[in-house]
A and B are shown apart, each in its own frame.
Chain A
């Protein structure tokens, strides 16, 4: 246990932020143990990115390179904050990076939200992507019209998935249970509601453009809604990307119905109530908004008092995600994230908690695209490196600094941990099943099946053994 041993970092959460943090830490000479509650890695790349976006999923080849670096270990199926406490990691690793994301959905806070047929888009996404916790979910796919509340990429993803159809879905890695259910869905129209105007919509240009290329689906936009107020028009003129989105919307507004399915984009509408009949969703009551310039020149919505009702049998709210409190870690319930400064976790008094860091959505909130998390993780690791160089990382001594002792502790606390080799066995199994079915992969969605495919017991990584030799 010499002073020259590599510092150890535990990264909690194997999504993009966790992997980017791991990569940056490895480059700085840390050894990295990457924990995930699921037996599988990649977070929202596996459980969030839409099945019909395989090219984006190719980002995992970068994470594969990280996993192949010496000093990296994956511990899948281990719940930090459950079977292992964050505090216990802080006692054993010089740096603990929380990259646990924002697993809870923001709510509308209106009557009827709990009715049968109303759900979060997050739950729907987790279900069609085969997240083990969502495998038994049910959605009212026998509805004719669905309303999606929200104007981000998630809203457009779920609208597309509802209408894609069985033939198209069968060529994706959508979860098998969802393929069956969505192929039999009777939804013909999806109304996507934005509380602000088209100039303020949060979806990205490629997602909006993609809607226009869907077979048999007409995108409907009311041309009158594209008459922008002066402030919105100025904002659009100053932003070519926004300008492109308005141009796409104008193109949709001029289109005639083709095919039997429709995505209707409706702006300046805020749900005030989910209308129910016999406990089931029957419609959404919406307030008609207008945009108004408020202090500081910002545009805000104002309720005009007018109301409309949209009949529907399914409501999915896609109005954002929220972080979840992790036991033993400070949490800001107002913002739904871990209080931090540049990635350094702050205690209740606003002081940095030694050795504790955050990256990704649990650090900055649920925004940005995959690449945003690379920059975010780089900032966090820069803080860790600065703390290391300034001697501010916790100094572990004796058994707490002994690599062999750590491995003994890990094998006692989480003997069922799935290593990287276990994941590659799962991956091979899923791809082989997919190849037989003419699909990219068939996902395993039950934890016991995933464990079986991983090889059942603990898989010891090569550098795991090396670490023990070094520590001995």
Chain B
């Protein structure tokens, strides 16, 4: 299991989740050089500890546990994972 950031984040990037993620696994952070360039934030499945912290703070309900991710956003699991494969951690 892991958590996934889905479509509602695009254009929102509220980043409240990065302030509460206890293991800093949501990237990029506001201060990161690629922050402005990305459409949305991503959760690193290797680092996520399934704590649910990011769910309550998201103003647009973009964060989902992958086992409850709505079917229309199923491909976001790969989008999150591949972001870190490309970017490195």
Contacts and interface: CB of A to CB of B under 8 A. Distances in A.
Interface of A: 16, 55-56, 58-59, 61-62, 204-206, 209, 240-241, 244, 369-375, 378
B51 A369 contact: yes
A375 B61 contact: no
A374 B61 contact: no
A375 B20 contact: yes
Interface string B51-85: 11111100001000101100000000000000000
B24 interface: yes
Nearest to A376: B20
B21 to A, nearest CB: 6
Given A56-B50, A241-B55, A205 B19 contact: no
Q: Is the interface of B mostly helix, strand, loop or mixed?
A: loop
Contact of A372 (B53, B65, B67): B53
Contacts of A370: 22, 51, 53
Nearest to A49: B51
Nearest to B54: A371
B23 interface: yes
Contacts of A374: 19-22
Contact of A59 (B1, B23, B61): B23
Contact of A371 (B20, B61, B67): B20
B53 A371 contact: yes
A375 B19 contact: yes
Given A61-B23, A241-B61, A371-B20, A56 B49 contact: yes
A334 B65 CA distance: 37
Contacts of B52: 204-206, 369
Interface string B10-23: 00000000011111
Interface in B1-52: 1, 19-24, 49-52
B56 A241 contact: yes
A374 to B, nearest CB: 6
A46 to B, nearest CB: 15
Nearest to A19: B22
19 contacts: A55-B49, A58-B49, A59-B23, A59-B49, A62-B23, A62-B24, A204-B52, A205-B55, A241-B61, A244-B68, A369-B20, A369-B51, A369-B52, A369-B56, A370-B22, A372-B20, A373-B22, A374-B19, A375-B20
Contacts of B23: 58-59, 61-62
Contacts of B56: 241, 369
B68 A56 contact: no
B54 A206 contact: no
Contacts of A59: 22-23, 49, 51
B10 to A, nearest CB: 17
Contacts of B53: 369-372
Contact of A206 (B21, B22, B65): B65
B49 A378 contact: no
Give the most central of B1, B22, B23, B50: most A CB within 10 Å.
B22
B28 to A, nearest CB: 17
Contacts of B51: 56, 59, 369-371
Nearest to B58: A241
A207 to B, nearest CB: 8
A50 to B, nearest CB: 13
Contacts of A244: 68
A161 B23 CA distance: 26
A61 B47 CA distance: 10
A366 B59 CA distance: 23
